[in-house]
């Protein structure tokens, strides 16, 4: 996808740069996503000092960790469970 298309998609859906990001997947996926982060930062779609969480491991554990991350972002009481 051309950079301008990705930037346009981001601009339409997100008024402010993203401050909190979760990367979830195997080691190869994480490597690719880290590279994508650099481009999104350069476009201003992600804050330079955004909090980046990397979630990796067996699928069941990744699902639990992702759920916890999502609930934490929503500031729900369930986040601590």
- Into how many domains does the chain fold? 1
- Which residue segment(s) compose the domain that 55 sits in? 16-80
Residue 31 lies in a domain: yes
Tell me if 69 sits within 8 A of 53, measured CB to CB: yes
For 16-69, what is each residue's pLDDT tens digit? 889 999 999 999 999 999 999 999 999 999 999 999 999 999 999 999 999 999
Cα gap 48→36, rounded to integer Å: 13
Residue 34 lies in a domain: yes
Token pair, residue 58, equals: 């067996």
Tell me if 58 sits within 8 A of 26, measured CB to CB: no
Tell me if 81 sits within 8 A of 67, measured CB to CB: no
Residue 67 lies in a domain: yes
Residue 1 binned pLDDT confidence (cut-offs 50, 70, 90): very low
Tell me if 67 sits within 8 A of 59, measured CB to CB: no
Residue 41 lies in a domain: yes
């Amino acid at each position: 996808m051309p950079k301008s298309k990705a930037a346009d998609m981001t601009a339409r859906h997100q008024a402010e740069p993203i401050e909190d990001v979760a990367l979830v997947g195997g080691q190869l996926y994480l490597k690719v996503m880290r590279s994508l982060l650099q481009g999104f930062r350069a476009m201003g779609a992600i804050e330079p000092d955004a909090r980046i969480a990397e979630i990796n491991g067996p699928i069941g554990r990744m699902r639990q960790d992702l759920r916890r991350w999502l609930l934490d972002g929503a500031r729900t009481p369930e986040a601590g469970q």
